[in-house]
Amino acid sequence: MIQIGKILKKVPIFKMLGKESIDFIVERLKFKTFQKGENICEIGDPGEEMFIIISGETDICIGEKGNQQVVATLKSGDYFGEMALLTGEPRSATVKANEVTETFVLYKNDFDVILEKYPSISLSMGKIVSQRLRDTLKKAASASGEKKDNFEARGDGSGPSGSLKDMALVDLISFCEANSLTGDMKISHGDELGVFEFERGELLNIKLGDLADDAALDKMINWQDGRFEINVRPLTLKTTPEEETVDEVKKVLIVNNSKVVRRVIERAFTGLGYEVSTASNIATSLDVINTVVPDIIITDIKLADGSGIEFIRQVRDTQNVPFIFITDDAVKANFEQELQDVDDVDITKTHEVSEIVKLVENKLLQ
């Protein structure tokens, strides 16, 4: 058990979790070994589980049998199979063991429970999924036989672009559908700009100036030249199938005299998909709050221009933002006394970032 926990702590999506949370996940993992050359899952199949690689190596392949492209190679600490669980869509790729590969398997029911309990996992997973979709889209695009010059990834994080002379509009639409595009495809022709919006490969609407849907398509289908550009939108994920999507990025303000402490906490929250602002004192914090009201403030109790008590009073004059104070043992008791009538406050004496993350998530996602 302890050993498995150690392995899990090395997986980026679980890194931020404390021991209790890791134990909770460990209890739900199964162990499975695949032989060299074995297909662990196949493109188009329904997805029942995700895998975390303990040892070995897998290729992620797209395309028809006999004409497969490797889009990525995953190793120990990487995971796969999460997309089908998150989207409910069939497997987006075939995953093949390049050598004997040991995995932990997490079945859908447990996966849903874990994501609901630890939303930070779905936040970091969401980023990876979006990146994977982009990579796959680019690979599929370049594999579709287009000349590289005319159909290439722009390297700005978006999908492929190119000329309509090289790929007909109908083929582009099928391409977006086949690759489960969430985002849009823009078609430009002289001064005119048409936009096709997709959600998980489903064409939602088409616009061209005042024209919509069929009328817009009828006009664009006749364009012999022009350019296309496919833009992948980061996915918003469901924590459970019934729940609302997590579509709002939470905002955290970190206030601390020490640049290093600010930076360490900032990195942890940015990595988890939070929008982070930092400030070194009360005055700068109030400026930040005037521009964007954070969902939570994490602050030291002693700042260069005043105490934590003064800080929270000034903020609470206008905004009811929750506070987490970081302090040390010596002053914690006094400080708790002073804050006893103030709502929505947590005090922690730890500087351990994973503990601070847990407190924030309990607060914001309760």
Burial 98-120 (b: 16+ CB within 10 A, else e): beebbbbbbebebbbebbeebbb
In the bound state, the residue with its beta carbon closest to ligand CMP is 84
104 part of the interface to ligand CMP, by CB under 6 A: no
Shortest Å distance, C-beta 85 to ligand CMP: 6
335 part of the interface to ligand CMP, by CB under 6 A: no
47 part of the interface to ligand CMP, by CB under 6 A: yes
- Size, binding site for ligand CMP by CB under 6 A: 17
Shortest Å distance, C-beta 91 to ligand CMP: 4
CA pair distance 177, 84, nearest whole angstrom: 16
Shortest Å distance, C-beta 131 to ligand CMP: 8
CA pair distance 97, 35, nearest whole angstrom: 7
Closest to ligand CMP by CB, 239 or 278: 239
112 part of the interface to ligand CMP, by CB under 6 A: no
53 part of the interface to ligand CMP, by CB under 6 A: no
Judge contact between 192 and 175, C-beta under 8 A.
Answer: no
Strand partners, 80: 51
Shortest Å distance, C-beta 200 to ligand CMP: 12
Closest to ligand CMP by CB, 109 or 257: 109
Shortest Å distance, C-beta 249 to ligand CMP: 23
Residue 70, H or E segment: strand 69-75
Binding residues among 154-213 for ligand CMP as defined by CB under 6 A? none
Closest to ligand CMP by CB, 72 or 113: 72
72 part of the interface to ligand CMP, by CB under 6 A: yes
Strand partners, 303: 306
CA pair distance 10, 273, nearest whole angstrom: 19
Which listed residue (96, 132, 189, 262) binds ligand CMP by CB under 6 A?
132
Closest to ligand CMP by CB, 181 or 339: 181
Strand partners, 315: none
93 part of the interface to ligand CMP, by CB under 6 A: yes
CA pair distance 265, 359, nearest whole angstrom: 13
CA pair distance 81, 101, nearest whole angstrom: 15
Binding residues among 5-44 for ligand CMP as defined by CB under 6 A? 41
Quick one: which segment of 99-107, 128-136, 213-221, 224-232 binds ligand CMP (CB under 6 A)? 128-136
Shortest Å distance, C-beta 178 to ligand CMP: 13
Which listed residue (13, 25, 53, 60) binds ligand CMP by CB under 6 A?
60
CA pair distance 278, 195, nearest whole angstrom: 38
Judge contact between 33 and 98, C-beta under 8 A.
Answer: no
Burial 311-337 (b: 16+ CB within 10 A, else e): bbebbeeeeebbbbbbbeeeeeeebee
Which listed residue (135, 199, 295, 346) binds ligand CMP by CB under 6 A?
135
Quick one: which segment of 12-20, 130-138, 223-231, 251-259 binds ligand CMP (CB under 6 A)? 130-138
Judge contact between 106 and 49, C-beta under 8 A.
Answer: yes
Burial 188-206 (b: 16+ CB within 10 A, else e): ebeeeebebbbeeeebeeb
Binding residues among 73-92 for ligand CMP as defined by CB under 6 A? 80-84, 91-92
* Site of interaction with ligand CMP (CB under 6 A): 41, 47, 60, 71-72, 80-84, 91-93, 95, 132, 135-136
